[in-house]
A = this chain, B = another copy of it.
Amino acid sequence: MRKQMHLGSLSHGVGSHVAGWRMPGAETEKENFDLVARAVRTAERGKFDFVFFADAVNTGADAAPMFVVRFEPLTLLGALSVVTDRIGLVATVSTTYSEPYNVARALASLDHLSQGRIGWNVVTGSSPDAAANFSKDKHPPHEERYAMAQEYLEVVKGLWDSWEDSALVADKQTGQFIDTGKLHVLNHVGRYYRVAGPLNASRPPQGYPVIFQAGASDRGLELAGSTAEVVFATQSFQEEAVAFAGKLRDCAEAAGRARDSIRILLGVSPIVGDTEREARDIISQLGAFVDPVTSMRVLSDRVGIDLARYDIDGPLPDLPPSTMMQGHARVLQSVARRYNMTIRQLRDYAAVSSGHRVLIGTPAQVADDLEAWFARGACDGFAIMTPYSPQPFERFVDQVVPILVERELFRKEYSGKTLRDHLGLERPPHPTPRSPV
């Protein structure tokens, strides 16, 4: 069988576009479970590997609508585990502002509730504002956060291994409830954590819930290389994506893992139309909801020159070579040339993309793009984001996914039951037992 891509959905709630909620038919409610459940069922109908929930532990009056309020991901996954059957469910949890025992428990509990469909997106938290919500003087610096995360993961996995897979016996005849020889303490004593264990949850159905990460710094890549099973990345050029994948697989190898032990998914935002023109109109329609001065300033900052001085309906001027050192400028110039965009159109594109590639076109055009990147070895699949909910994602599932299935690039039906099954990842065996309790 042809190698197939993996697809994850980040499309739910009010969407990634700051004003997407204002589109006709767009949802405006963030804490309405029925709406979230509908989006997740759409992804399951499309046989997606998983749905993913971003998170943060702070907010503010200036936050974009998608960040203002949201369901707490672990409780949300509990609810979603009941209204879905096969799709993986991935929550973001920060290692900086939580206790490993509590998080190990919650994730083990969810893996039991969902019968093996949970993933954990490990983040160290990028907003320094979070510290003020957790009785901390300051957000720990980048290096320290990653050192904490590395140790935290070790503790959590150790807790998941507290119980061997067959430790719970419950033999009514003999009266033996647990096989105490299969229960292990952890007694972890590290630089940041001291955790005795055992956990009061039996080993998760998947052994460990699947570990997701998105850090792109050198330290992030190092952590991902040693621990991640799925990595989200943003890449704008195929060759750079291929290079990134190679570098990440080198990190895995350096950590003693197989090169193919990580699934690399690139974030993309597909805007599907019956024609390319219709797709581009959707972007313009979104752009019209954003304050034009602000959005032009954002674009100007990104390309490195003040575009307000140019004809908004004219072409993007040649950017000075100096600004091309900035990734954003290079990407936006490339997009403007590819689609022959005016400054106004590029401004509206930038508001949709938030750094990710926006795939504009007919269902076949979008499928062609995904196929090309996948075939080139740029990634193992894609994380699908959409600017508002539910239409753009429903269109992707109903119009693009069938083409991928037809081309045998994506599954027609789920063949496995767990998230590890979907991703083609091994269930980690229980390690050599440590000391019994």
Interface residues of chain A, those whose CB is within 8 Å of chain B, are: 19, 21-22, 26, 28-31, 33, 56-61, 63, 65, 67-72, 74-79, 81-83, 97-99, 101-102, 105-106, 108-110, 112-113, 129, 132-136, 163, 168, 170, 172, 175, 177-178, 180, 183, 192-202, 289, 436-437
A194–B135 contact, CB under 8 A? yes
A26 to chain B, nearest CB (A): 8
Q: Which of B60, B69, B77 contacts A202 (CB 8 A)?
A: B69
A311 CA to B415 CA, complexed, in Å: 64
- CB-defined A-B contacts under 8 Å, sample of 13: A22-B175, A33-B112, A57-B102, A58-B200, A59-B199, A67-B200, A68-B200, A72-B106, A75-B110, A97-B101, A99-B134, A133-B195, A135-B195
Smallest Cβ-Cβ distance to A186: which chain B residue:
B133
- A205's closest neighbor in chain B, by CB? B31
Residues of B with C-beta under 8 A to A58: 200
- Establish whether residues B113 and A21, one from each chain, have CB atoms under 8 Å apart when the complex forms: no
A195 nearest CB across to chain B (Å): 6
Query: Which residue of B has the minimal Cβ distance to A182?
Result: B61
Contact B135 A193 (CB under 8 A): yes
Chain B residues whose C-beta falls within 8 Å of the C-beta of A60 in the assembled complex:
198, 437
Of A67, A172, A195, the most chain B CB neighbours within 10 A belong to A172
Across the A-B interface, the 5 shortest Cβ-Cβ residue pairs: A78-B78, A59-B200, A132-B196, A72-B109, A28-B170
Chain B residue nearest to A291 (CB atoms) is B175
Distance from A22 Cβ to chain B, minimum over Cβ atoms (Å): 5
Instruction: Tell whether, in the assembled complex, residue A109 and residue B76 are in contact, meaning their CB atoms are under 8 Å apart.
Output: yes
Task: Assess the A106–B75 pair: CB atoms within 8 A.
Answer: yes
Contacts of A99 in B (CB 8 A): 97-99, 134-135
Chain B residues with Cβ under 8 A from A30's Cβ? Answer: 168
| A27 to B387 Cα, complex, angstroms | 47
Checking B21, B67, B200 against A70 with a beta-carbon cut-off of 8 angstroms, the contacting residue is: B200
Q: Considering the chains assembled together, what is the distance between the CA atoms of A248 and B342 in angstroms?
A: 72
For A65, list chain B residues within 8 Å (CB). Answer: 170, 177-178
Give complex CA distance A98, B135 in Å.
Answer: 12
The residue that A31 contacts in the complex, of B26, B102, B202, with Cβ under 8 A, is: B202
Most buried by B among A72, A82, A102, A172: A72
In whole angstroms, how far apart are the Cα atoms of A26 and B21 in the complex?
A: 51
Indicate if the CB atoms of B76 and A79 lie closer than 8 Å: no
A57: which B residues are within 8 A, CB to CB? Answer: 101-102, 105, 200
Query: Is the CB–CB distance between B101 and A172 below 8 Å?
Result: no
Choose one: B78, B192, B194, B197; the contact of A75 (CB below 8 Å): B78
Residues of B within 8 A of A110 (CB): 72, 75
Q: Are A198 and B78 in contact (CB under 8 A)?
A: no
Name the residue in A67, A177, A192, A199 with the highest tally of chain B Cβ atoms < 10 Å from its Cβ: A177
A101–B134 CB distance below 8 A: yes
User: With contacts A102-B98, A168-B68, A201-B69 known, is A79 near B194, CB below 8 A?
Assistant: no
Instruction: Say whether A178 contacts B132, CB under 8 Å.
Output: no
Bound: A178/B59 CA distance, A: 12
| B113 and A33 contacting across the interface, CB-CB below 8 Å | yes
- Decide yes or no: A22 and B172 within 8 Å by CB, A134-B99, A195-B135 being known contacts: yes
A74–B110 CA distance with the chains assembled, in angstroms:
10
14 other contacts beyond A75-B75, A75-B113, with CB at 8 A cut-off?
A19-B175, A31-B201, A57-B105, A63-B200, A69-B168, A70-B200, A72-B201, A75-B106, A75-B109, A79-B79, A97-B101, A101-B134, A133-B195, A134-B195
Whole-angstrom distance between the Cβ of A201 and the nearest chain B Cβ: 5
